[in-house]
């Protein structure tokens, strides 16, 4: 059996996906990016290979994507994360009846992508200038609140009153605002809900710039946070399609493309 891999070298996390020659996913792996992008990417790839009992030679084609893709020299090819995300979401979205709009929130940026019926990108909008509205904002907030990222969802749903309004649009100022709210006796639950709604409002504004068509797919690490999912659904006034492994859609898209490029060349 031949295998193909996609590696998404993100600002915050490295994601690896391996598919077999039928295009079926064999496994995924997520590891922190750290500061040594090349070494950590190589380690992440080998960690997944060893988990799958595969050798490097079993991978016939490997495509890198993501923020740090140029630093991963082992790849056979590289593509933008927007293209890889579109391919992955189009493929995963088939099980949900097809998706045409993608919201991706990553560690340092957020994107809205519109795809056509074949999965090609027809429009996109990106926020990479400001950490507000990204995973970084959640990481900083969780640290200030002394919470693990995995706890944010439960805190959101345990919020009793109306979510607090977080006015600061800058992460550094938001940090002081959160500390101020705690000092004034506000509950962590209401603060967490306020943070989620603040990100949700920004995300919806970004998504409206590309237009909202058909089913909306939400991916990237922050899509693991059910509280954020609920806040975006509320602001968007529609259900989101959230896959089982939202953080690895882009790596999966790169792996799917690696397989099709290899098969096309072989043919």
CB of 66 vs ligand ADP, minimal distance in Å: 6
DSSP letters spanning 5-39:
EEEEE-SSEEEEEEEETTS-EEEEEEEE--S-HHH
Using CA atoms, how far residue 201 sits from 12, 56, 195, 249, in Å, is 23, 44, 10, 23
Complex with ligand ADP: residue 54 or 230, whichever CB lies closer? 230
CB of 266 vs ligand ADP, minimal distance in Å: 31
CB of 41 vs ligand ADP, minimal distance in Å: 12
Complex with ligand ADP: residue 138 or 181, whichever CB lies closer? 138
> Which one, of 45, 64, 40, 71, lies nearest residue 56 by Cα?
45
Complex with ligand ADP: residue 136 or 188, whichever CB lies closer? 136
SS3 label, residue 148: coil
CB 210 within 8 A of CB 113: yes
CB count in 10 Å sphere of residue 103: 26
Footprint of ligand ADP (CB under 6 A): 10-13, 66, 106-108, 135-136, 138-139, 149-150, 220-222, 224-225, 247
Complex with ligand ADP: residue 116 or 150, whichever CB lies closer? 150
CB of 153 vs ligand ADP, minimal distance in Å: 7
Complex with ligand ADP: residue 20 or 80, whichever CB lies closer? 80
**126 exposure class (CB count in 10 Å sphere: 0-12, 13-18, 19+):** middle
Q: How far is CA 53 from the centre of its chain?
A: 27
CB of 90 vs ligand ADP, minimal distance in Å: 18
Complex with ligand ADP: residue 149 or 182, whichever CB lies closer? 149
Complex with ligand ADP: residue 163 or 221, whichever CB lies closer? 221
CB of 28 vs ligand ADP, minimal distance in Å: 12
CB of 141 vs ligand ADP, minimal distance in Å: 9
CB of 55 vs ligand ADP, minimal distance in Å: 27
Complex with ligand ADP: residue 69 or 90, whichever CB lies closer? 69
- The tokens for 204 are 């919806």
- Residue, CB closest to ligand ADP: 221
Using CA atoms, how far residue 14 sits from 140, 157, 196, 251, 266, in Å, is 20, 29, 24, 9, 29
3-state SS of 172-222? HHHHHHHHHHHHCCCCHHHHHHHHHHHHHHHHHHHHHHHCCCCCEEEECHH
Interatomic CA distance for residues 85 and 64, integer angstroms: 12
């Amino acid at each position: 059996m031949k295998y193909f891999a996609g590696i998404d070298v993100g600002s915050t996390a490295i994601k690896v996906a391996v598919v077999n020659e039928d295009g079926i996913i064999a496994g995924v792996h997520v590891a922190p990016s750290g500061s040594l992008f090349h070494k950590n990417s190589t380690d992440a790839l080998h960690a997944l290979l060893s988990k799958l009992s595969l050798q490097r030679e079993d991978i016939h084609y490997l495509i890198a994507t993501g923020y740090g893709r140029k630093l991963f020299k082992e790849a056979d090819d590289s593509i933008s994360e927007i293209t890889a995300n579109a391919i992955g979401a189009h493929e995963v979205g088939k099980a949900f009846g097809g998706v045409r709009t993608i919201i991706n929130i990553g560690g340092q940026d957020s994107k809205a992508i519109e795809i056509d019926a074949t999965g090609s990108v027809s429009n996109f909008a990106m926020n990479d200038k400001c950490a507000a509205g990204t995973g970084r904002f959640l990481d900083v907030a969780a640290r200030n609140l002394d919470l693990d990222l995995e706890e944010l969802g439960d805190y959101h749903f345990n919020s009793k009153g109306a979510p607090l309004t977080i006015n600061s649009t800058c992460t550094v100022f938001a940090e002081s605002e959160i500390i101020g709210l705690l000092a004034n006796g506000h509950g962590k639950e209401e603060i967490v809900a306020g943070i989620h709604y603040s990100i949700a409002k920004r995300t919806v504004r970004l998504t409206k710039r590309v237009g909202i068509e058909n089913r909306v797919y939400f991916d990237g690490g922050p899509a693991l946070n059910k509280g954020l999912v609920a806040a975006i659904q509320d602001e968007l006034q529609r259900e989101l399609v959230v896959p089982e492994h939202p953080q690895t859609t882009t790596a999966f898209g790169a792996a799917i493309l690696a397989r099709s490029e290899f098969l096309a060349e072989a043919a």
